[in-house]
Structure 1
Amino acid sequence: MNEVAKVIPLHGASTARGAALGRSRREQSESRHPSAMPPPAVISPPEPQPDTGSSAVDAVRRVLADQIVNTAEFVRRRLSGDYHVDDFGYDPHFAENVWLPVLRPLFDKWFRVEVSGLENIPSTGGALVVANHAGVLPLDGLMTSVAVHDHHPAHRPLRMLAADIAFEMPVVGDLARKAGHTLACNPDAVRLLQTGQVAAVFPEGFKGIGKPFSERYKLQRFGRGGFVSAAMRTGAPIIPCSIVGSEEIYPKIGDLGTLARLLGMPYFPVTPLFPHFGPLGLVPLPSKWYIEFGKPIVTDTYDASAADDPMELFEVTDHVRETIQQTLYRLLAKRRNVFLG
């Protein structure tokens, strides 16, 4: 039996397929139309990076320019005589522009000095700082002068009372005078205190800086109390000062006495590095320093006759010495390492 094949007309399918194809083409054409496309992303230009090399060079140039200007101004004032020198030879212009800048690297970088108790030094008027002395060379006095000038709120100069030998040396004597220091004698101490200066004395003298390393931080005798007499005569307070770190800069393990007498010196030290290593042995060891200024000991409550009374002078002298010694023990107990602190 023959079956007649049914033919299904394709008009509907082709029409639907064509409509779909037409919509697809219209959508594609619309998507390609500029008005239908999303706006292009705006790319910001990269921010310029700072040229660290150029900024470092500029900083160096500024520093050099400032130094040249300051040097030129210093030379101008020196040549024109535009500076003041007092009766003791103190030249503040020289001290602040030459002497102290030389000492500051030692204070800040080498010994890394930490200072406390500066509020005990009055901002005005006379005061007498009394400190322990050690280290073969008197660097402790120089570091104390930097501490008072640079770190005290009033930036007061410290006028040290030094031994005669310091002023007998050709170059050292002139520098000491210009830096503001004078002889360690009662008349000079009284004059400084009467004019409202901050003076400093190291009563141990050569017995302190020349003692062997085995006796470090053990205070020597403080003399007959001449510094106490000067303070009493002027009513100036006494400021005990304790310095830790100076004993280790040149550990003295020997003394060439015969050579010292030939050279007219109080001692000729032998350290682990000097004189074996020559000039290299003169470089101080970088010990960590602490300088503490204690509470003032008032002297304006004593009678005028007390300045000539040996018993009164001995009592106050012993009190100052004991205060410094106990403070040294306390600072040493806190220190963990000679060089690291």
Structure 2
Amino acid sequence: MIIGGGWGNVPGHGRALLVANHAGIVPYDGAMIRTAIVAEHPQPRHARMLVVDWAFAVPFTNMLLVKTGNVLAHPDNATALLERDELVGVFPEGVKGAAKRYQDRYRIRRLGRGGFVQVALRTGAPIIPVAVVGSEEVHPVLADLQPLARLLGLPNLPITPTFPWLGLGGMIPLPSKWFIAFGKPIEVAHHGPEAAGDARLVLELSEQVREWIQTAVNQLRPRRQTIFF
């Protein structure tokens, strides 16, 4: 089940950058955001989600990611999509968010180094913060085997109640309830493309987005009477 809010903050057309918190060894949060917009938005449209490179190397998942319009996470790809007036989604917490232990769930990490802000400034795309609740429970991370991950060439190797014990079956998500909220657009076009080089402004905007997401997540969590169906 997906319960959403703030639909009016997502434009029915034109460029915009969705910035969300992230969790899970498989990017189900991107799929849920896409599904919510298509199913519930008054003017349904497809969001192009930016996904880290290692996710495309996971068997079966890679084909699904490509077929559903996901794109390799890179500033050039984000810029190209926004310049075509697409709706683009990004998860700046990246690998650190995906490997977050269950005991640290819903504590929003630093949103990268502000790369998403620079892309928004260069393209004039408004930034729409997105708070996601439900992603931390689909694959509760109990531990992260970093030494083995390095040997395998992976950024991390999360251990969950089902993975790797059930093999690929361990990537099947647990049936958590999802709440997704879209914040008011943060307009950045008036700063101009050259502002992408202003490190202070980039940091301020990045922290503004992080704080909104953290506050919204804190408000959404108590609304779930139960975590699972």
What CA distance in whole angstroms lies between the structure 1 residues aligned with 2:58 and 2:28? 17
What CA distance in whole angstroms lies between the structure 2 residues aligned with 1:286 and 1:172? 18
- Provide the residue aligned with 1:235 in structure 2: 124
Q: Secondary structure at the match of 1:241?
A: strand
Change (3 A) 1:267 1:128: same
- Provide the residue aligned with 1:300 in structure 2: 189
- Provide the residue aligned with 1:73 in structure 2: none
- Superposed CA RMSD in Å reads 1.8
Between 1 and 2, higher relative CO (CA 8 Å, sep ≥ 6) is seen in 2
- 1:1-341 → structure 2 map (5 Å cutoff): 112-168=1-57, 172-278=61-167, 280-339=169-228
Change (3 A) 1:168 1:338: closer
Change (3 A) 1:249 1:170: closer
Give the superposition deviation at 1:265.
1.7
- The percentage of aligned residue pairs carrying the same residue is 47
1:304-341: CA deviation from partner (whole Å, max 9, x where unpaired): 3211111110010010010000000011133332125x
Give the superposition deviation at 1:169.
5.2
Residue segments in structure 1 that go unaligned for 5+ positions in a row: 1-111
The total of aligned residue pairs comes to 229
* Structure-2-length-normalised TM-score: 0.92
Residue segments in structure 2 that go unaligned for 5+ positions in a row: none
Change (3 A) 1:195 1:264: same
Give the superposition deviation at 1:179.
2.1
Change (3 A) 1:276 1:163: closer
What CA distance in whole angstroms lies between the structure 2 residues aligned with 1:249 and 1:145? 17
Change (3 A) 1:173 1:336: closer
Give the partner amino acid of 1:163.
Answer: V
Give the partner amino acid of 1:321.
Answer: R
173-182 vs 159-168, which moves further: 173-182
What CA distance in whole angstroms lies between the structure 1 residues aligned with 2:50 and 2:7? 20
Kept after mapping to 1: 8 A contact 2:143/2:159:
yes
Largest Rg, 1 or 2: 1
Q: Which protein is richer in strand relative to its size?
A: 2
Give the partner amino acid of 2:39.
Answer: D
* Structure-1-length-normalised TM-score: 0.63
Q: Secondary structure at the match of 1:160?
A: strand
Q: Secondary structure at the match of 1:301?
A: helix
Give the superposition deviation at 1:290.
0.3
1:142-188: CA deviation from partner (whole Å, max 9, x where unpaired): 11111122222222111011112234557544443332222222121
